[in-house]
Amino acid sequence: MINENKQKTNNDISNMAYFIEDLLDTVRRSEIYLSKYTLKNILDTSISKLKIPSTVDLRIQGNDVSILCDDRKLQVVFGNLLKYSIEAIKGQGYVSVKILSNVSDVEINFEDSGEGIESVEQNRMFEPMFSTKQNGSGLGLAISKMIVEQHGGKLVYKNHPSAFSIILPRSNSI
């Protein structure tokens, strides 16, 4: 009986891993549909889909920038990063989104007043199925990174203060 349960558990894990790999492959290969959107418009839409506690001071800073992008995919990324910031501050503190633009790229920084991510976890945070949360799937950051890379950009993390940055090439700007 114990061996049968172990075999069933191993099969369930194998099936789940296959499903997740298939999901990630779908995200990797899915086309992006580029149109002109402003970053603040995408941010506003992402924010409208979240429940933000009144104890969170959400700040949007910087000049708006128009870029060619798949707005629905970037909404997923922005929504994930905002959600993670709110979770990191345990619903109390600040979350700041700054849009920075220069000659070569556009950077969108999601900074929060949380404690940050330990360096051991930083090494694995973009790996599929890695999560520090009890009920986390470990897919949010992996998928977000893939979407940003589809746009020719990078998703990076910096500690002190805790911040995720999306860096998109200026060639995507209009």
- Predicted confidence at residue 122, as pLDDT, reads 72
Residue 156's contacts (CB-CB under 8 Å, 6 or more residues apart) are 164, 165, 167
* Confidence at residue 61, expressed as pLDDT on a 0 to 100 scale: 97
Query: How confident is the model at residue 4, as a pLDDT?
Result: 57
Strand partners, 67: 37, 173
Q: From residue 58, how far is each of 27, 53, 86, 96, 103 by CA, in Å? A: 29, 10, 9, 6, 28
Say how far apart CA 11 and CA 61 lie, in whole Å. Answer: 49
pLDDT of 121: 78
pTM above 0.95, yes or no: no
pLDDT, position 9: 57
Q: Give yes or no for a cis peptide into 128 (omega within 30° of 0).
A: no
**Amino acid sitting at position 87:** E
Please report the pLDDT score of residue 127 as a whole number. 77
Alpha-carbon distances of 98 from 3, 9, 40, 125, rounded to whole Å: 54, 45, 10, 22
Tens-digit pLDDT profile for the chain (174 aa)? 555 555 555 555 555 565 556 555 556 668 889 999 999 999 999 999 999 999 999 999 999 999 999 999 999 999 999 999 999 999 899 999 999 999 889 999 999 999 887 876 777 777 775 556 656 566 789 889 999 999 999 999 998 889 999 999 877 655
Q: How many CA atoms lie within 13 A of 119 on its CB side?
A: 1
